[in-house]
Amino acid sequence: MSTPEDPSPLESFEVVAHGEDSWYLLAQGDARYLDVRCSRGAGEWSVLVELDPSERALLDTRGPDHLDRLARKISASSPGVDPDSPCTPRDVKAQRSAEVSAAVRRWWARQEG
């Protein structure tokens, strides 16, 4: 079992906010990541982007309502499908999928428990 000072990689992410069926805000140390559910037609996927300083500032001043708008903007840009999307190069889901999935499972277990 890991200690708070030395979390295992799968425990390093924590869900800190959730938008109904559309996004999760995750924290890893001081970094904040937005996991956004995207869909086009019958296809569905998610992308994970680290919030940049301006997005963090808006989150700090406007709260989670800002994340609803940001998630819609990210989803509308078709990251992961459109190589020209400004969010495609920011998508780190492939590198962080296991950590994010573990954090979301822990979060849901707390909600149900």
What are the pLDDT digits (tens) for 26-49?
999 999 999 999 887 777 888 999
Q: Is residue 22 part of a domain?
A: yes
For Cα atoms 36, 78, 18, give the angle at the middle one, nearest 5 degrees: 10
Number of independent structural domains in the chain: 1
HSE on the CB side for 8, CA within 13 Å?
9
Residues 6+ apart with CB under 8 A from 12: 28, 29, 99
pLDDT of residue 4: 47
- Domain presence at residue 84: yes
- Record the tokens describing residue 26, joined without a space: 């995750």
Average pLDDT over the chain, rounded to an integer: 85
Q: Which amino acid is at 42?
A: A
Inside any domain, residue 3: no
**What range does the domain containing 35 cover?**
9-112
Contact 14, 27 (CB under 8 A): yes
Domain contains 4: no
Is 106 or 80 the better-scoring residue by pLDDT?
106
- Quick check: is 36 in a domain? yes
Nearest one of 103, 89, 107, 102 to 47, comparing CA atoms: 89
How many other CB atoms are found less than 10 A from the CB of residue 93? 17
Which single residue is written with the structure tokens 């190069």? 89
Confidence of residue 107 (pLDDT cuts 50, 70, 90): very high
- The pLDDT tens digits of the residues spanning 55-76 come to 999 999 998 888 998 998 888 8
For 91-100, write each residue's pLDDT tens digit.
Answer: 899 899 999 9
Model confidence at 1, pLDDT cuts 50, 70, 90, reads: very low
